[in-house]
Structure 1
Amino acid sequence: MLKLSYPRLKQILMIIILATVEVPSNILSKRLNVSTRTIRSDIKKLNSDISDYKLEIMNCRGKGYYLAIKDNQQLDKLKCDLNRLDKKTNVDNSGSRIKYILNELLTKQKLISIDNILDSLYISINTLNKDIIDIKEIANKYNLRIVHKNNGLSLVGKEENKRYCFINQLENKNYKEYVLGFTTNERRLFNNIDLDTNSKVINAFIDKEMKEIPDYNRKNIVIHVILSLSRIKAGYILKEFNSNLQVSHGFQDKFDKMFDRLELNIGNEIILPEREYVKYHIGLNNPQIVNNSNEPQEELIRKSVLFFLDKIRNNYTFNLLNDDLLIKSLTEHIKAAIKIKSLDSSRKNPLLDVIPSTFPLAYEMTITSIKILECQLKFHFSNDELSFITLHIGASMERKYSNKWKKRNVAIICGSGTATANLLRAKLENRFSNYLNIIRVYSYAEYCSSLYPKEVDFLISTVPILNSKVPVVEVDLSNFANDSKELYGFITSTSNNQQILYSLFKPELVFINSDLQTRQQVLDFLCDKLEEQDVVRSDFRAKMFKREKMYSTAIGGGIAIPHPIKFAAKVSNVAFLQLKRQIVWDDNDNKIQLVFLLAINEKEYPKIQTLFNFLADLQSDTRFYNSISKCSDSNETIKVINSFIQNNIN
């Protein structure tokens, strides 16, 4: 039986067997992304692994490697074994091997043979021993033990703990893949039951009994029920399960009816501890079904939310206190969080890693103001819960402060008759429906009689108008294509959000190709420049460094957005610096090359949600860095920044 020391050797062997001529070492190194020295070591190891076949890989000087064949039958045997090897489990890194071995330990009733593991994964005993050390550390977290006996391994511990290990360790919950049905790995893990039939029963129960449940939580419920069914079918049954969860009146009967149908599907009895286990996990993912006599009164939560939003207004001037939807959704969310905490558990946010960088301002507002909410409710919010709250705050800010295109009210003045007027209106609505709210079409005579509405932002006219109190954009149907471009240019150039962003950047505060090597040097340099330009107050630097200590201002894409924790700017500007080389920005080893130091005046703070949106979008736009790197001075850099502002707004 063919056993290769590590997966790369299989690739080398396949290349050499299939080649019709010698394969140079530099070709192998390029294909496998390793050095030629590594290739030489691999060939030596590979020859040892295939020595039983009486074959050897030789090196023809000046040409490359080839397989020296003395017996074609041995070659055929090698090809046959190589084909079998190709069908084995594809695990080419420690993480995937650990998941594979854990799965074997959790699903096999008997000892699993070490020889079978080595054969399945084609790894050495030394590699397996290293992996077992990591597996033991994982098992310890769940009060489980790895037992080594008679050249075999087994996992010892309570069934409940094994299930927690199973759920948390074996499935990579990539959000997009996770919510879209069953993954290939899930189908492999639960291949002893009919996944599709049972999931239909579970989803029908969810659809009927639960309202507005997120897809992620729905999938969590399905997985926990399926896991319970699969373990029961395999003979691993929970003998006891205790929780203090009490469900809403009437839910228990409906819950039991679901399990009665599932019993028929799997042909096994689902005893009470198993039902309680599932009910507990349904409650964690849908707290609305949970009764908790110890939870704070709803009015107390609502008042606490108002204190929290008032703190945000005091710190950042954003007034979200009149957003009834936000107050209601936060109150319901916190009620659910408290219910889950009462069950000695917590919920995971699948977007935890991306929320701080995607909504940097909303996240900062949340974590710097959350203490008042925690004190009022005597409740600590986890990072996952803080990220959930950030989404509620971010949604409110989008509703109230981040309308990139607030439609302009316009009136059309047309002196060419009704048919022409209607055609012009249709063309404008077709092309500019996202930007314009056309009040009505008026004749030139009606305009002169002052019959058109005065509350318009500007006029679109087919005739020259010289005495208007509001801007006028003249269009001609015969030249509509060109005139519509001018109209679009007028709309974008007068966009308040766009003008605000343009005004924040000026050449005196833009620096490129800097040789600075540390975060401290970068921030001191930019603070010096802001002080020289009389942009900031004397306390700006201290407040900026205080904010920097709270958590990293690196948002991804090699970008950092440092700023003070409190207002300390006389006027609003952004100091921008591009480094020649990336520097380590924080303890998380984030590498930064582009720095935007934000100095925003208190009166203008509510207008800068657009700035944070713009900066968050830049982190995933590689064109921005490529364009900046080609600039030779600050004026060119300003032009690049402004062009990306225009593209972002548009």
Structure 2
Amino acid sequence: MDTLSLTLRQRKLLHILQSHENLITGSELASQLNATARTIRSDIAAINLELKPFNAKIDSIRSKGYFFTAENGDKIRELNRINTAFFTRDDRIRYLAFQLCLTDTPINVYDLEDEMFISHTTLENDIHTLKLLYMLKSPFINITNQHSMLSFEPDERKRRHILTSLIHRHWNYNSRENAIYENEYVSEEILDQMIDIVSQCLHKHRLRMEDTNIVWLNIACTIMYERLSSGYMLPQASPVSKPDASALAASNEILATMERLFSISIPPQEYDEIYLLISSAHILDPSKITLANTCRIFDASVLDMAAEYMELLQEFYHLDFSTDEDFYLTLLQYIRFILAPVHRFSTQENPSISKSHLITELELAWAFQSIALKHAGYYLNEEELLHLAYCISGALEFHFELHPEYKLSTVICCHEHMTVAWSIKRKLLGAYEKYLKVTALIPVNQAKNYDFSDTDLILLTVHKKISDETLGKIIEISPYISPNDIRKLEIYLQSQKVSFLYRNTGSVRSFFETAYWHEDYEFDNIFSAVETLGSEFVDKGIAGREYLSALLQRESLCSNAYCSGLLFQFAMTPAKQTQLSFTVLPRRMNWRNHKIRVIVTAAFTAADRTLVFKLKHFFYRLNKQCDITNAVYSKDELLQLLTAQPDAHI
């Protein structure tokens, strides 16, 4: 049988390129896969060796990106799916989870080592990761490892959740299958029929669900069939209240159709489970929701949480979203969704990419945690926070429209004819008018005599120093505005367009000068690093024990690690004084798949809370500009790098 001998990362890379009609750059691929551009190039070379016998290839156009070409794309797509192989830790953990879900008796760990050709230490590390994924997170299944025997607790609902999630992860939304793995457990024929049944029933009863929840429903129904056929059913429980008539009708019809087509008997508790999936996940029709009818559509708890969050944003961050009706109604839908008994968000995109695009918004979303705990009894997880951050991102866009005073005063210095400068202005305003106010178009040779004191941004078409006062304000661009120019401008705008949040905080250089410094720390794991560095602030009386708890909680729920080089960790619990510490690691540390050389830990007073936005953007820009992982090995080297940054950046 034909196969492709590829690692999981290489399989993901191939899938990404097969799913894109347009060119995709090496840096974009590297970001999605948490790898370097050099690694991507090596992977593509390895993939092309495997693809050569099948007349397929990953090709490239210089300075534009990569693309996939093949005589038979479906053949390559099928070959790219794994059956049973243990190339990576992900493969092994997936296999372990399947085996533990499908057996009633404990599994001998030595048999597993032989079966997967791995060492005892490797298996122990995999079991630890398995616990992090499913014991400390939903579905919170108990995992027992005693006397060399490994087992899941006999909870059918939790086991089904894991089985469903294993197939749901890496789902190919361009097709009807998992993009990376073959369906080891479920029948593809049954799954294919379920996709049609669910689609028809939801359409008939006019129910809208997001793609990720429809796929989950399709897989959950298929898993139900497989488990019932094997003699496993959910335990009997009190009947579920079913006030949602449309969801009830759809769930009844889906399961009745299954009973008829597949000749199985489905007990009442299974009907309750599918009803909960549909009633929790279906989306309200936004065209039918207005400010006038929100009290009839949403529960009082939803309205209260939205009101408290809007007040919090205004009180602490001076963000008044009260006139943004569209945001308010979307926020209500979001809160209704997270309060539902069963809810899930799409996890297809690498969360690190989302975090890098939502630097400010994620902190504003984190402020919702106290409200979630008060009303729902739990904190939001990373996926829930990121989707709230996307909601905030949209609200900020409208906020800029209402506040033209936040626009960045921009001067274009162009060495070409004035028609070129005017063209640059029109192109930029066409894309970024909400953020930029072009105040002058001047020739480069006149720049030395121009007063830039009230200018936020200078766009320069040549490589030339103007004056010391303009350092940090200049972005060099080409007259025709290249894709690279756009990327540089967007990185700059990402921080500067929200500078109104921290405009009155002043320079942070003084905090660098008073920071604590460490060069001799080495840590066994992430949480050891968080606890050690956070405890320093507690031991020195700068913050209380609640600060350390908040720091550990933040890492557990939504890590601050989203790129390699420098990690900036903090907690918003008010401290007695604002303090930073810098830790330069003698050996880089793997922190959630990111290679970390420097850890910056921060505590803030209540008055300095908005400094977090300034520092997050500063350190993100520093990571983008410098290869900190391979360029910084000591306090002196880091200090030199920090000192060299223009005042306009800090």
TM-score by length of 1: 0.53
Q: Provide structure 1 residue ranges, at least 5 long, that are not aligned to the other structure.
A: 1-86, 146-152, 290-294, 440-455, 529-539
Matches within 5 A, 1:45-84: none
Matches within 5 A, 1:496-645: 503-505=507-509, 508-509=513-514, 514-515=519-520, 542-543=542-543, 546-552=546-552, 555-556=560-561, 559-562=567-570, 565-566=573-574, 575=580, 577-581=582-586, 593-597=598-602, 602=607, 606=610, 609=613, 611-615=615-619, 623-629=627-633, 632-633=636-637, 636-638=640-642
1:249 and 2:230 equivalent? no
Any idea what SS the aligned residue of 1:561 has? Answer: strand
What's the CA shift string for 1:434-485, capped at 9, x where partnerless? Answer: 456899xxxxxxxxxxxxxxxx651114697989999799x99xxx953999
Q: Return the offset for 1:306.
A: 1.8
Partner in structure 1 of residue 330 of structure 2: 329
Report if the CA contact (8 A) 2:571-2:603 is conserved. Answer: yes
Q: Distance in 2 between matches of 1:541 and 1:263?
A: 66
Any idea what SS the aligned residue of 1:459 has? Answer: strand
Distance of aligned partners of 1:205 and 1:175 in 2 relative to their CA distance in 1, 3 Å threshold: same
What letter is aligned with 1:182? E
Sequence identity of aligned pairs in percent?
Answer: 9
What letter is aligned with 1:200? D
Specify the structure having the higher radius of gyration (Cα): 1
What's the CA shift string for 1:551-609, capped at 9, x where partnerless? Answer: 3366235624336623766xxx87462424479999xxx9884214365783x755753
What's the CA shift string for 1:505-540, capped at 9, x where partnerless? Answer: 356357776346887996798999xxxxxxxxxxx9
Q: Return the offset for 1:223.
A: 1.0
Q: Distance in 1 between matches of 2:245 and 2:390?
A: 35
What letter is aligned with 1:426? S
What letter is aligned with 2:567? I
Matches within 5 A, 1:10-89: 89=84
Report if the CA contact (8 A) 1:241-1:277 is conserved. Answer: no
Q: Distance in 1 between matches of 2:496 and 2:332?
A: 36
What letter is aligned with 1:627? A
Partner in structure 2 of residue 429 of structure 1: 426
Correspondence for 2:177 among 175, 179, 182: 182
Distance of aligned partners of 1:175 and 1:250 in 2 relative to their CA distance in 1, 3 Å threshold: closer
Report if the CA contact (8 A) 1:366-1:389 is conserved. Answer: yes
Q: Return the offset for 1:221.
A: 0.9
Partner in structure 2 of residue 453 of structure 1: none
What letter is aligned with 2:336? K
Q: Distance in 2 between matches of 1:411 and 1:637?
A: 28
Q: Distance in 2 between matches of 1:511 and 1:280?
A: 52
Distance of aligned partners of 1:193 and 1:615 in 2 relative to their CA distance in 1, 3 Å threshold: same
Q: Return the offset for 1:380.
A: 1.3
What's the CA shift string for 1:265-295, capped at 9, x where partnerless? Answer: 5465767665444223323433869xxxxx9
Distance of aligned partners of 1:91 and 1:639 in 2 relative to their CA distance in 1, 3 Å threshold: same
What letter is aligned with 1:550? A
Report if the CA contact (8 A) 2:306-2:331 is conserved. Answer: yes
Any idea what SS the aligned residue of 2:632 has? Answer: helix
Distance of aligned partners of 1:197 and 1:370 in 2 relative to their CA distance in 1, 3 Å threshold: closer
Q: Return the offset for 1:202.
A: 1.9
Partner in structure 2 of residue 195 of structure 1: 191
Report if the CA contact (8 A) 1:366-1:393 is conserved. Answer: yes
Partner in structure 2 of residue 298 of structure 1: 299
Report if the CA contact (8 A) 2:281-2:337 is conserved. Answer: no
Report if the CA contact (8 A) 1:407-1:435 is conserved. Answer: no
1:121 and 2:122 equivalent? no
Report if the CA contact (8 A) 2:195-2:218 is conserved. Answer: yes
Partner in structure 2 of residue 168 of structure 1: 162
Q: Provide structure 2 residue ranges, at least 5 long, that are not aligned to the other structure.
A: 1-81, 145-149, 286-295, 467-473, 478-488, 523-528
Report if the CA contact (8 A) 2:194-2:221 is conserved. Answer: no
Report if the CA contact (8 A) 1:220-1:285 is conserved. Answer: no
Report if the CA contact (8 A) 1:515-1:580 is conserved. Answer: yes
Q: Return the offset for 1:226.
A: 1.5
Q: Distance in 1 between matches of 2:249 and 2:648?
A: 58
Q: Distance in 2 between matches of 1:155 and 1:105?
A: 9
What's the CA shift string for 1:94-146, capped at 9, x where partnerless? Answer: 7456445446547xxxx9999xx89993889x99xx99x999x99x998999x
Partner in structure 2 of residue 482 of structure 1: 462
Q: Return the offset for 1:189.
A: 0.9
What's the CA shift string for 1:55-81, capped at 9, x where partnerless? Answer: xxxxxxxxxxxxxxxxxxxxxxxxxxx
Report if the CA contact (8 A) 2:590-2:596 is conserved. Answer: yes
Distance of aligned partners of 1:611 and 1:244 in 2 relative to their CA distance in 1, 3 Å threshold: same
Report if the CA contact (8 A) 1:306-1:321 is conserved. Answer: no
What letter is aligned with 1:542? I
